[in-house]
Structure 1
Amino acid sequence: MSYDPNQGNNPGYNPPPQGENPAGYPPPQGPYTGYGPPPPSQEGYPGGYPPPPQQGGYPGYPPPPQEGYPGGYPPPQQGGYSPYGPGGYNEPPAQPLPLGDAIRQLPAQYLRITTRPSANTFAMEKGKAAWNIVWVQLLFLGVVAAILIALYVGVALPTLMSTFNSNSSIPPSTFNSIKTLYASSAIPLGIGALIFTIVGFFVGVGIMFLIAKAFGGQGTFLQHGYSYLLFTVPLTILSYLVALVPFIGSLGSLAISIYSIVLQVYMTMAVHRLSGGRATMAVLILPIIAIILVCVFVIVLITAVSRSIPSH
């Protein structure tokens, strides 16, 4: 039955109930009463697109990346490095690299660590720690140390002795025997340097790791050892090369040793999330104890010698 507007006064007409729409019956006008799709929502998304503008206007999302680390991570710090935690440094997540990529990145990492020393620099690198790249660096350092020590004992040292032999009273036969001894011991000393490099790494780093833990450190042994090698490998090789230079080699090696201590402090701050004071104490406590023991030994030795000398 079609709708007739003249039936409005027909007492027999019963309009259909609300919510039903028989054929030919027009939907009511005005507020929504159930006919047709609901109007779009003004809040949220979907159904209310576009979303309400963000503070400061829309578009503008996403915010531009911060300067520094790729992708804007981490945000730049105010006033330099501070201990981890609220208001501190947000380290990147741990992402060990494939061995081939890790090896290719080592030269750039060595240069970055040694020329731009800071706790932030170490914190950027420690997430790449993995045992495979640790062993690669250890073996590389051990082989280089073995070669350089063998060259020094078998070639450089006899040559240096030959230079001063003209002013010495050593017989030629004795001098030739000494040169032969040095030449024959070059290979065993090189092998010993390789073994000592690997064993000394685990012993030395293990002791430093335990000391850092005693001062409240939170890092792992893997991160500690990996970060330690990032500056130890280039500086150790440089120290061996400088030692080959006569006269100034010892001074150069001393300067490199002091600089490595500074880098170790920064490394301890980053790996173990320690403040500068705690990291410095964790690094210097062993040298301080060693200096005290040496001083005590010298005093005891001088006292014993003085008492053994008869008084006149």
Structure 2
Amino acid sequence: MYKNPSAKDEQAAAQALQFGEALWQLPLQYINVFVRPSVNTLSDAMENASWGRVLVQCLHLVIVMVTISFLGSIIPSAALHSISALSMNAASARGWPSFLLNDPTLLVVSFLIGLGTAYWGSRVCGGQGTFLSHLYCLLLCTIPLVTVGGVLLLLPTPGWFLLLPAGIVSALFIYRMVLHTITIMAVHRLEVGQAVFIMLILPIALLVILVLVALLTHGEGWGDLCDSFLHGGGVGEGKRRKKERTAQ
């Protein structure tokens, strides 16, 4: 016996169709955010925010990170391979867990810390945007930059040419901070000064922590450096003076 579809079934079918259309629109949104970033662009984009689309973007981000990390590990001449090797050697020398400097791990941790800091900072400053909208727009800003930066790091870069992709990736990271600032303005309706202040909280805190760690772990090195400049002769002269004092 034939049964007419209920209103609930029709609504579910319509939602599924809208969800599929939204997924097809994601690449266009990536391009718009990357090429023409503005408060209006992100305000229009966050109207499509939903947990389903966030999940799809998170899966996309994970696939991109794992793929780039794998290719970088098997291409010896890739910039990512050289940078990862330097990071692992530095971690081993200081006794740090090597997984903390793994590229996907660092990216995920930095993304979550940046998201949490920016969202709660926006709320404290009077922002009314939702966590879902903030997360959705930040993913729109992050995925294309991670993809472009990852592809650049897969290029063969012998010797000093390693500085070129590393510099471009650093510039993309700064550009991502700019996009995150615009995201805060669009999602939480805050002024540019407030958004910039929120974005600077985390970098300033990290800078203070790095300085403290450097002072605590390399106190003698800082002393040698200061001694060398105070007495002249450079860093090598400072080290020579230290050896003479130790011998005496």
Q: CA deviation at 1:110?
A: 0.8
- Cα distance 1:99–1:200, how it changes in 2: closer, same or farther (>3 A)? farther
Structure 1 equivalent of residue 51 of structure 2: 131
**8 A contact 1:143–1:194 mirrored in 2:** no
Deviates more, 1:114-123 or 1:227-236: 114-123
Provide, for residues 262-285 of structure 1, a one-character-per-residue CA deviation record: whole Å limited to 9, x for no partner.
111111001011000000111111
Structure 2 equivalent of residue 3 of structure 1: none
**8 A contact 2:42–2:137 mirrored in 1:** yes
Structure 2 residue ranges without an equivalent (≥5): 1-14, 80-98, 225-238
- What SS does the corresponding residue of 2:143 show, helix, strand or coil? helix
Residue type of the partner of 1:274?
L
- Cα distance 1:293–1:195, how it changes in 2: closer, same or farther (>3 A)? closer
- Cα distance 1:147–1:213, how it changes in 2: closer, same or farther (>3 A)? same
1:276 aligns to 2:196 (yes or no): no
- What SS does the corresponding residue of 2:129 show, helix, strand or coil? coil
Structure 1 equivalent of residue 234 of structure 2: none
Q: 1:237 aligns with which of 147, 156, 171?
A: 147
TM-score, scaled relative to structure 1:
0.54
Q: CA deviation at 1:145?
A: 1.1
Provide, for residues 97-133 of structure 1, a one-character-per-residue CA deviation record: whole Å limited to 9, x for no partner.
8220111101111111111111121111112110001
1:188-227 superposed matches below 5 A: 201-227=111-137
**Matched residues in 2 for 1:199 and 1:150: separation?**
19
Structure 1 residue ranges without an equivalent (≥5): 1-94, 162-188
- Cα distance 1:96–1:220, how it changes in 2: closer, same or farther (>3 A)? farther
**Matched residues in 2 for 1:133 and 1:195: separation?**
22
Structure 2 equivalent of residue 25 of structure 1: none
Residue type of the partner of 2:48?
K
- What SS does the corresponding residue of 1:219 show, helix, strand or coil? coil
**8 A contact 1:138–1:198 mirrored in 2:** no
Provide, for residues 125-159 of structure 1, a one-character-per-residue CA deviation record: whole Å limited to 9, x for no partner.
112110001000110110121111111102x12x5
Residue type of the partner of 1:212?
S
Structure 1 equivalent of residue 31 of structure 2: 111
CA RMSD of aligned residues (A): 3.0
1:253 aligns to 2:185 (yes or no): no
Provide, for residues 70-98 of structure 1, a one-character-per-residue CA deviation record: whole Å limited to 9, x for no partner.
xxxxxxxxxxxxxxxxxxxxxxxxx9982
**Matched residues in 2 for 1:281 and 1:96: separation?**
40
Structure scoring higher RCO (CA < 8 A, sep ≥ 6) equals 2
1:83-122 superposed matches below 5 A: 98-122=18-42
**8 A contact 2:78–2:154 mirrored in 1:** no
Residue type of the partner of 1:268?
I
**8 A contact 2:43–2:187 mirrored in 1:** yes
- Cα distance 1:258–1:198, how it changes in 2: closer, same or farther (>3 A)? closer
1:132-171 superposed matches below 5 A: 132-154=52-74, 156-157=75-76, 159=77
- Which structure has more helix as a fraction of its residues? 2
Identity between Structure 1 and Structure 2 (%): 32
**Matched residues in 2 for 1:225 and 1:208: separation?**
10
**Matched residues in 2 for 1:123 and 1:141: separation?**
22
Q: CA deviation at 1:160?
A: 6.0
**8 A contact 1:146–1:193 mirrored in 2:** no
Residue type of the partner of 2:56?
V
